[in-house]
Amino acid sequence: AQTVTQSQPEMSVQEAETVTLSCTYDTSESDYYLFWYKQPPSRQMILVIRQEAYKQQNATENRFSVNFQKAAKSFSLKISDSQLGDAAMYFCAYRSNTGNQFYFGTGTSLTVIP
Amino acid sequence: EAGVTQFPSHSVIEKGQTVTLRCDPISGHDNLYWYRRVMGKEIKFLLHFVKESKQDESGMPNNRFLAERTGGTYSTLKVQPAELEDSGVYFCASRSDGDRYGYTFGSGTRLTVV
């Protein structure tokens, strides 16, 4: 079964600094997708970034980038130039190419310090 | 475009009572998913509807949970009778059939059973 592990329950970062959130996963599949979702307090969960496992190039979305290490089954999220609006719970998620179901980690609560 | 709407946003009920959660997906989205996050743990899949049919209900914890999607529009998730361990945040997500990546999540319903 697929599992996703986020080992950092809480992280904090100074505004304008860079922070990296860790995520590891376990799967026997070769074709899958990895995601980072963000949920601000009492608001909907939104997609931050997506990575297809068959792509070697790390995905980037503005200030958000990932470090995808397929062999190590690691998928970390780097947030550059952190802003107050980045404060949220971040969830790492896995989805098989053939399935509909997401497998989520336990989440990392990110605080941005002004 | 309106997002995925869930209500109530919060619900506090006593053990043994019944609670019904509702999810209104984005109009036209045939796929509707329910997930649950128990405090401090990962978000777990409950079930998946395609229109009004249950495509996958492998994540439903037990027969105290009943999900319906009459007419293929909104969905309800009823817990009867509620137990303490049912407390958590219940998320709904919807997706158009033609969009493999476009999952839209709601803000969740926080259920507390006392």
A101 has a chain B CB within 8 A of its CB: yes
pLDDT of B1 over the 70 cut: no
Q: Do B42 and A4 touch (CB under 8 A)?
A: yes
Average pLDDT over residues A80-87: 97
**Percentage of chain B surpassing pLDDT 70?**
99
Interface test with A, best of B39, B43, B92, B109 (most A CBs within 10 A): B43
Please answer yes or no on whether A44 and B105 come within 8 Å at the CB atom: yes
Place of tokens 């959660």: B21
Side-chain-side CA neighbours of residue A86 (13 Å)? 29
- Residue B71 tokens read as 């007419």
- Burial of A109 (C-beta count, 10 Å sphere; 0-12/13-18/19+): middle
CB contact under 8 A, B105 and A37: yes
pLDDT single digits (tens) B49-68: 999 999 999 999 999 999 99
- Residue range B32-52, pLDDT digits in tens: 999 999 988 999 999 999 999
Kindly tell me if the per-residue pLDDT of B7 is higher than 70. Answer: yes
- The answer to whether A61 faces chain B, any CB pair under 8 Å, is no
Q: Chain-wide mean pLDDT for chain A?
A: 94
Q: Judge whether A104 is closer than 8 Å to chain B, CB to CB.
A: yes
pLDDT digits (tens, 9 = 90+) for A69-81: 999 999 999 999 9
B76, B22 Cβ separation under 8 angstroms: yes
Model confidence at A49: pLDDT above 90? yes
**pLDDT band per the 50, 70, 90 thresholds, residue B101:** confident
Angle made by CA atoms A89, A84, A50, in degrees to the nearest 5: 50
Closest chain A residue to the Cα of B35, Cα to Cα: A102
Omega prior to B8 cis, within 30 of 0: yes
DSSP code string of B44-58: EEEEEEETTEEEE-T
